[in-house]
Amino acid sequence: AQTVTQSQPEMSVQEAETVTLSCTYDTSESDYYLFWYKQPPSRQMILVIRQEAYKQQNATENRFSVNFQKAAKSFSLKISDSQLGDAAMYFCALFGNEKLTFGTGTRLTIIP
Amino acid sequence: KAGVTQTPRYLIKTRGQQVTLSCSPISGHRSVSWYQQTPGQGLQFLFEYFSETQRNKGNFPGRFSGRQFSNSRSEMNVSTLELGDSALYLCASSLAQEGDYMQEDTQYFGPGTRLTVL
């Protein structure tokens, strides 16, 4: 079975500062994909960033970047220059063994 | 391009009833997956359909079923509703590929259907 663990139920950051959300996972698959999704109060699940496990280079999408440590099975999300619109639940997810498994989420609060 | 749409957005049912939820994928997407989101269990995979065939399913009882039509639209049905079925049901679509197993492709989610069972 594959698992995804997000150990930080809640995080807060000052507007314009940088914050890092943690995620660890476990899978027996050699080929898999990792994602961060954002779920604002509207409940719409929005893709933030995607990482292919066979690629060593960390994915980057504008102010969002990841630190992918395959050996440690770690996949953290860094948000730079935090904005009020970044406030949401953030879910780490792993696609492997033919299905998408989510972590329990981290609620991110942006302090003006 | 329009996103994934789900209808209805909100639904209230009583125990023992059945319910059908609908999902229209992004145009051109052939795979549709369903998830249940609850405060206690988080996000859990229900099943995935591709070309009108269920390719993969999660660990849910047989009361939960689905189908996909030739235009890739999908419906999910829950029979004999229980209080514990109250949840946000999310649908996601992806381009996917031919094959008898669910291959990775980025999934794009709809806004969800909030089901309340009284």
Mean of all residue pLDDT scores within chain B: 92
How far apart are the C-alpha atoms of A64 and B72, rounded to whole Å? 32
R_g over Cα of chain B: 13
Residue type, B101: Y
Q: Which residue of B has its CA nearest to A104?
A: B42
Q: Which two tokens stand for residue A7?
A: 């150990």
Q: What is the mean pLDDT of the segment spanning A72-84? A: 97
- pLDDT for B99 equals 61
Interface residue B108 vs chain A (CB under 8 A): yes
The DSSP secondary-structure symbol of B32 reads: E
How far apart are the C-alpha atoms of A63 and A74, rounded to whole Å? 20
Of B28, B34, B36, B35, which Cα lies nearest the Cα of B94? Answer: B28
- pLDDT for A43 equals 87
Contact A99 B101 (CB under 8 A): no
Name the CA dihedral angle for A80, A85, B107, A42, rounded to a multiple of 10 degrees. 160
Contact status, residue B55 vs residue B37, Cβ threshold 8 Å: no
- The pLDDT-based confidence of B97 (bands split at 50, 70, 90) is low
Question: Looking at chain B, which runs of residues are DSSP E strands?
Answer: 5-7, 10-13, 19-24, 31-38, 42-50, 53-57, 64-68, 74-78, 87-94, 108-109, 113-117
Each residue's pLDDT tens digit, B8-32: 999 999 999 999 999 999 999 999 9
pLDDT at A7 over 90: yes
Determine the distance in angstroms separating the CA of A18 from the nearest CA of chain B, rounded to an integer.
26
Interface residue B10 vs chain A (CB under 8 A): no
- pLDDT for A36 equals 97
Residue A82 has, within 13 A of its CA and on its CB side, a CA count of 22
pLDDT at B55 over 90: no
Each residue's pLDDT tens digit, A24-76: 999 988 889 999 999 998 888 999 999 988 888 899 999 999 999 999 999 99
How far apart are the C-alpha atoms of B52 and B40, rounded to whole Å? 31
Phi-psi domain of B114 (left: phi exceeds 0; alpha: psi -120 through 50; beta: other)? beta
Query: How many CB atoms within 10 Å of residue B28?
Result: 9
- pLDDT for B82 equals 97
Each residue's pLDDT tens digit, A88-112: 999 999 998 778 899 999 999 999 9
- pLDDT for B105 equals 73
How far apart are the C-alpha atoms of B7 and A97, rounded to whole Å? 30
- pLDDT for A107 equals 97
How far apart are the C-alpha atoms of B35 and B97, rounded to whole Å? 20
Q: Which residue of A has its CA nearest to B113?
A: A43
Q: Which residue of B has its CA nearest to A5?
A: B42
pLDDT at B78 over 80: yes
Considering only CB atoms, B102 lies closest to which of A46, A98, A102, namely: A98
